[in-house]
Amino acid sequence: MARQRVGRGWTEKVRSTKDVADKKLNILVWGGPGVGKTHFCGTAPRPFLINTDKGELALHQLDIPYVVLDSDLNVYDTIMAILDSARKKKDGFENIETIILDSVWKLSDLLLEEIKEENSNTGKAGFSEWGQLLTRMSKIIDGFTASNYHFLATSGEAIRADELDEEEKNVTFNFSGSYRNRLAYSFDFNLYLKAKKKGVTTEYLSFSQEENKRSAKSRVEMPKKVIDPSFTKIHEYVLNGLKKKEEIN
């Protein structure tokens, strides 16, 4: 993919940091199963779903175009071709505003198996193959976060089986390899989602800061907890300067 040539016309790219009206948000949405990660992503405007984890089942009531990436495809070449089409606003991306990757950890598994096949490796991945995975994941995530779309990616959470005390759990991304160490910093926001049973109903929550040792960063000021989170709520904080700290309902 050819890079956009700017050269001496770089001054046309100058913007003010106070102008966030056209800011495209890059959000990593993570948490355990059934907490609403895919549903949250589906609330974003005009989405396109890159599906590696059967996420379309959670969005069946919405009319969202999607493509399935699985082991029958050349996964890396396919996703880079999707990125190229998105950048050029063609092949169905003419009216798309948001790209969803569901999920980033399943994509990494597919890519690692693909790399092993390329190297005719039927055993465990070697050091060089983990390095190839890091390179490919970096190109993919960096490519989408730099694009002119909202970019939402989901990841599961990993919890050690012997950590039974809710307050002491050491929770992190369900992701193998070196890229996990930089995954959080590839996005503007890391939203940790959880669901709490309240009688016969379920309360859905998102956290933008640490919650029981769960690391979740944000480049801008966010409320600690959002009840019934949606993309619109999160986006409103950005458009309003993200000045509110209190819990909202």
> How high is the pLDDT of residue 87?
93
> What DSSP line would sit under 53-68, residue for residue?
S-GGGGGTTS---EEE
With left for phi above 0 and alpha for psi between -120 and 50, is residue 33 left, alpha or beta?
Answer: beta
What's the alpha-carbon Rg for the chain, to the nearest Å? 19
pLDDT per residue over 158-174, tens digit each? 765 554 455 545 567 77
Are residues 190 and 208 in contact, defined by beta-carbon separation less than 8 angstroms?
yes
pLDDT per residue over 89-109, tens digit each? 999 999 999 999 998 989 999
> How high is the pLDDT of residue 248?
45
> How high is the pLDDT of residue 107?
93
Number of residues assigned to the chain: 249
4's CB contacts (< 8 A; 6+ apart) are none
* Global confidence as pTM: 0.81
Residue type, 7: G
Question: Which of the following CATH numbers is that of domain 21-158+168-239: 3.40.50, 2.60.40, 3.30.410, 1.10.10?
Answer: 3.40.50
Q: Which residues of the chain have pLDDT under 70?
A: 1-8, 17-22, 55-58, 159-171, 176-177, 181, 200-201, 206, 208-223, 238-249
Separation of alpha carbons 160 and 90, rounded Å: 44
Are residues 188 and 237 in contact, defined by beta-carbon separation less than 8 angstroms?
no
Measured between alpha carbons, how far is residue 147 from residues 48, 63, 83, 219 in Å?
14, 23, 8, 18
> How high is the pLDDT of residue 45?
93
Are residues 183 and 155 in contact, defined by beta-carbon separation less than 8 angstroms?
yes
Q: Which of 97, 92, 101 is nearest to 37 (CA)?
A: 101
Apex 80 CA angle, 50 and 7, nearest 5: 125
124-133: long-range pairs with CB below 8 Å, 24+: 130/177, 130/178, 131/178, 133/108, 133/177, 133/179
> How high is the pLDDT of residue 169?
55
Measured between alpha carbons, how far is residue 85 from residues 43, 50, 88, 94, 165 in Å?
23, 13, 5, 10, 47
